[in-house]
């Protein structure tokens, strides 16, 4: 498929008489897509029931006339001020019970039925009006669910909805749930927390000390399901009127709802990629690393999300917002080095992105994002990013198509595991995302390409499957591991809790046919790493294991750190980068997956028939006899990887 590029545009921010010139310049630069509309509710419906679609009609037709395709966003992330007069209780409440007020965006609670009805109303009007418009070639629901910590709400609406959700999860006779089943599942006999009825169950905030982890996990599942329901409401309406594909724009390292479940209702997963903002804000790394990559972004963070959202989109995914220059929201906001906007774009295509859209067309001279670059400056002169976008468009036109193939290894990622680790970390710094990302980085440093897979995803064809920290391992996955010919890399904490957040007995990881038992665990201060005999260390967390297995690695205090049992390698702790890389190298060697020892900041991404090489550093590098210039992308034909059947 030919890849495409686009931009995010806000016609309502600019006088009508410049729309045509904007559209002409977009087309001239080689853009295909223009996303519009996602924050425009106050202009679509200035007063309740008083509509103005005129400007949107015109904007869509001006863009269409220039040969551009529109992604139309539903405006539900920014309800207008009058909405609050109609629904004063629609705001989310934070964990301290304070309202998340009007004056920015995302000021709604996912459980508020009145607000959901308003959303259904505006989305219906848009879908009816533009469902058959030939210029509207895709849709976006809302904007960045979960942004600004908005998935979870402790409102009265959420409390009622949570009780309803629990009744369905612990069903009894008739309409009421089985409260005894809930008490048993949560272990409420502990501290006399037993309930007599579902009406008594509150949201797990403002308790004296920590609430019951089982209670919190169900609340997090419920909160995630509320996002799924909210999104599905819009999708069903749009589908009734339009055949165009529907996307949502997810984010970097936002894990408060199950993106796989939201993605099941959509045609395309997309995400908003801000490599420099993320490096400062969301990557766990020391200052030296942050300084070295301050103008390039982390060499693995974007790739991780590309692979994650390829899975969420079941193969179809985009970058809906790509950083084109400095952003405004991270602790520091440097400009990218020349060439990085192009490199980021090609990295996304190499991972299978159908489209990369730059945020935003023109930098805004007003309001919150004045200091966020666009492709144009506020005075409409070209900003740095535009020349690179133009170059990417030209390169796409001249280059062969990118064909995605099966990756070397599968890495399982689970949103419920994120929540379980947050609820019961056992030590500061214990974060599931970081553990999975450390694993991902080590795999990439070995030159491997990775498919991220959901816990119930397809695992056929992989020779190596990794599920670090997968706190609850569903029975079907345990069975798959037992029956598998692949090498599995599990632990630490894989299978450490059952579905209700209780420790399983027999003790974890409780894999049938495998003699391994985690008998006890400890968390470690950051200044007490446990050195491994062969270099590197166990950090943050260690498990003591017993049973019959071969020991692959030991700590210097003579405890097994990595053990092998049949098709299973189990990591009895969080390995530091040195240990992780060595162990994964040994694992890859065991199943004869081809690795390469990459220089600092160089990465390889294999597609079905090519290798893309990326040099994220400002130094020239050499790999496999090839010269990689600083910040370069090199594309080389290669034989397809041969998956085992």
Minimum gap (Å) between residue 272 Cβ and ligand GAL: 5
Tokens read off for 571: 């990591």
CA dist 91 and 99 (Å) reads 6
- Strands 626-628 and 621-623 come out as antiparallel
CA dist 140 and 529 (Å) reads 46
Q: Does 274 bind ligand GAL (CB under 6 A)?
A: yes
Which residues are CB-neighbours of 518 under 8 A, at least 6 positions away?
Answer: 491, 496, 507, 508, 509, 543, 544, 545, 572
Q: Does 553 bind ligand GAL (CB under 6 A)?
A: no
Burial annotation 112-121 (CB, 10 A radius, 16+ → b, else e):
beebbebbee
Minimum gap (Å) between residue 86 Cβ and ligand GAL: 25
Minimum gap (Å) between residue 32 Cβ and ligand GAL: 20
Tokens read off for 136: 């509207």
Q: Does 144 bind ligand GAL (CB under 6 A)?
A: yes
Burial label for 267, CB within 10 Å (0-12, 13-18, 19+), is: middle
Distance from chain centroid for Cα 635: 27
Minimum gap (Å) between residue 9 Cβ and ligand GAL: 12
Q: 617's torsion region: left (phi>0), alpha (psi -120 to 50) or beta?
A: beta
Q: Does 318 bind ligand GAL (CB under 6 A)?
A: no
Nearer to ligand GAL, 372 or 616 (CB): 372
Nearer to ligand GAL, 274 or 549 (CB): 274
Alpha helices in 7-149 (DSSP H): 19-29, 41-44, 54-65, 82-86, 113-130
Find the binder of ligand GAL among 327, 383, 436, 561 (CB under 6 A).
327
Q: Helix or strand or coil: residue 504?
A: coil
Find the binder of ligand GAL among 218, 258, 298, 321 (CB under 6 A).
321
Burial label for 475, CB within 10 Å (0-12, 13-18, 19+), is: exposed
Minimum gap (Å) between residue 366 Cβ and ligand GAL: 14
Q: Does 438 bind ligand GAL (CB under 6 A)?
A: no
Nearer to ligand GAL, 147 or 279 (CB): 147
Q: Does 25 bind ligand GAL (CB under 6 A)?
A: no
Residues contacting ligand GAL: total by CB under 6 A: 11
CA distances from 1 to 155, 350, 352 (A): 46, 12, 10
Query: Are the C-beta atoms of residues 257 and 223 closer than 8 Å to each other?
Result: yes
Stretch of 62-70, 143-151, 395-403, 478-486 lying at the interface with ligand GAL (CB under 6 A): 143-151
Stretch of 23-31, 321-329, 459-467, 608-616 lying at the interface with ligand GAL (CB under 6 A): 321-329
Which residues are CB-neighbours of 509 under 8 A, at least 6 positions away?
Answer: 473, 490, 491, 494, 495, 496, 516, 518, 570
Stretch of 128-136, 142-150, 198-206, 600-608 lying at the interface with ligand GAL (CB under 6 A): 142-150
Minimum gap (Å) between residue 357 Cβ and ligand GAL: 11
Positions marked catalytic:
144, 321
Minimum gap (Å) between residue 603 Cβ and ligand GAL: 24
Nearer to ligand GAL, 143 or 151 (CB): 143
Stretch of 141-149, 194-202, 280-288, 409-417 lying at the interface with ligand GAL (CB under 6 A): 141-149
Nearer to ligand GAL, 75 or 455 (CB): 75
**β-bridge mates for residue 564, sequence order:** 550, 569
Nearer to ligand GAL, 144 or 307 (CB): 144
| The dihedral formed by the CA atoms of 153, 158, 161 and 166, expressed in degrees to the nearest 10 | 60
Nearer to ligand GAL, 127 or 147 (CB): 147
Site string for ligand GAL, 590-609 (x = CB under 6 A): --------------------
Stretch of 44-52, 140-148, 167-175, 389-397 lying at the interface with ligand GAL (CB under 6 A): 140-148
Q: Helix or strand or coil: residue 316?
A: coil
Find the binder of ligand GAL among 22, 118, 265, 272 (CB under 6 A).
272
Find the binder of ligand GAL among 170, 359, 361, 613 (CB under 6 A).
359
Q: Helix or strand or coil: residue 212?
A: coil
Q: Does 372 bind ligand GAL (CB under 6 A)?
A: yes
Q: Does 247 bind ligand GAL (CB under 6 A)?
A: no
CA dist 450 and 548 (Å) reads 31
Q: Does 41 bind ligand GAL (CB under 6 A)?
A: no
Stretch of 139-147, 159-167, 340-348, 574-582 lying at the interface with ligand GAL (CB under 6 A): 139-147
Nearer to ligand GAL, 153 or 249 (CB): 249
Minimum gap (Å) between residue 33 Cβ and ligand GAL: 15
Nearer to ligand GAL, 76 or 481 (CB): 76
Find the binder of ligand GAL among 7, 143, 155, 416 (CB under 6 A).
143
Tokens read off for 532: 């491994």
Find the binder of ligand GAL among 23, 109, 147, 450 (CB under 6 A).
147
Nearer to ligand GAL, 276 or 471 (CB): 276
Single out the residue of 288, 243, 352 nearest to residue 605, CA to CA: 352
Site string for ligand GAL, 42-81 (x = CB under 6 A): ----------------------------------------
CA dist 468 and 490 (Å) reads 5
Determine which helix (DSSP H) or strand (DSSP E) holds 610, and give its type and residue range.
strand 610-615
Residue whose structure tokens are 């060439």: 339
Nearer to ligand GAL, 295 or 542 (CB): 295
Minimum gap (Å) between residue 141 Cβ and ligand GAL: 13
CA dist 617 and 98 (Å) reads 45
Query: Are the C-beta atoms of residues 20 and 62 closer than 8 Å to each other?
Result: yes
Query: In the complex, which residues of this chain contact ligand GAL (CB under 6 A)?
Result: 143-144, 147, 272, 274, 321, 327, 329, 359, 369, 372
């Amino acid at each position: 498929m030919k890849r495409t590029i686009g931009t995010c545009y806000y016609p309502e921010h600019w006088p009508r008489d410049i729309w045509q010139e904007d559209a002409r310049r977009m087309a001239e630069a080689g853009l295909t897509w223009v996303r519009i509309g996602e924050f425009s509710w106050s202009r679509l419906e200035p007063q309740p029931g008083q509509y103005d679609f005129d400007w949107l009609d015109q904007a869509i037709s001006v863009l269409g006339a220039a040969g551009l395709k529109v992604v139309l966003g539903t405006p539900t992330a920014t309800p207008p001020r009058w909405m609050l007069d109609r629904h004063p209780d629609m705001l989310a409440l934070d964990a301290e019970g304070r309202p998340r007020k009007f004056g920015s965006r995302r000021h709604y609670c996912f459980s508020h039925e009145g607000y959901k009805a308003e959303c259904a109303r505006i989305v219906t009007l848009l879908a009816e009006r533009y469902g058959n418009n030939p210029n509207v070639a895709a849709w976006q629901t809302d904007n960045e669910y979960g942004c600004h910590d908005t998935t979870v709400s402790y409102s009265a609406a959420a409390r009622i909805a949570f009780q309803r959700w629990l009744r369905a999860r612990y069903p009894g006779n008739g309409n009421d749930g089985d409260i005894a089943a809930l008490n048993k599942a949560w272990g409420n006999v502990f501290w006399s927390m037993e309930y007599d009825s579902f009406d008594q169950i509150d949201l797990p905030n403002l308790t004296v000390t920590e609430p019951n982890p089982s209670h919190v996990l169900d609340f997090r599942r419920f909160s995630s399901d509320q996002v799924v329901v909210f999104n599905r409401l819009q999708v069903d309406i749009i589908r009734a009127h339009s055949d165009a594909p529907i996307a949502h724009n997810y984010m970097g390292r936002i894990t408060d709802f199950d993106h796989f479940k939201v993605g099941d209702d959509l045609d395309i997963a997309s995400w908003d990629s801000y490599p420099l903002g993320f490096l400062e804000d969301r990557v766990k790394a020391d200052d030296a690393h942050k300084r070295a990559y301050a103008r390039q972004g982390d060499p693995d963070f974007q790739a991780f999300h590309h692979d994650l959202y390829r899975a969420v989109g079941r193969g179809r995914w985009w970058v809906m917002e790509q950083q084109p220059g400095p952003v405004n929201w991270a602790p520091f906001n440097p400009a990218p080095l020349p060439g990085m906007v192009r490199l980021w774009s090609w990295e996304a295509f190499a991972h299978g992105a159908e489209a990369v859209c730059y945020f935003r067309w023109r930098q805004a001279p007003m309001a919150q994002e004045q200091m966020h670059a666009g492709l144009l400056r506020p005075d409409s002169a070209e900003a740095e990013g535009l020349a690179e976008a133009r170059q990417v468009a030209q390169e796409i036109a001249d280059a062969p198509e990118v064909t995605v193939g099966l990756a070397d290894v599968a890495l399982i990622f689970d949103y419920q595991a994120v929540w379980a680790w947050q609820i019961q970390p056992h030590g500061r710094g214990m974060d599931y995302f970081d553990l999975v990302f450390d694993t991902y980085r080590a795999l990439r440093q070995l030159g491997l390409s990775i498919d991220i897979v959901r816990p119930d995803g397809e695992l056929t064809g992989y020779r190596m499957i990794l599920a670090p920290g997968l706190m609850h391992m569903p029975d079907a996955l345990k069975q798959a591991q037992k029956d598998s010919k692949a090498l599995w890399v599990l632990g630490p904490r894989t299978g450490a809790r059952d579905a209700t957040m209780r420790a399983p007995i027999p003790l974890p990881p409780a894999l049938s046919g495998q003699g391994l038992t985690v008998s006890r665990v400890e968390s470690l201060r950051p200044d007490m790493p446990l050195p491994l005999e062969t270099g590197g260390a166990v950090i943050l967390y260690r498990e003591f294991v017993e049973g019959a297995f071969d020991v692959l690695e030991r700590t210097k205090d003579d405890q097994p750190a990595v053990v092998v049992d049949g098709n299973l390698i189990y990591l009895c702790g969080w390995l530091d980068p040195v240990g992780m890389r060595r162990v994964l190298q040994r694992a890859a060697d065991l199943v004869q997956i081809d690795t390469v020892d990459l220089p600092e900041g160089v990465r390889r991404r294999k597609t079905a028939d090519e290798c893309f090489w990326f040099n994220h550093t400002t130094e020239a590098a050499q790999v496999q006899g090839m010269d990689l210039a600083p910040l370069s992308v090199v594309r080389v034909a290669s034989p397809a990887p041969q998956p085992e059947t």
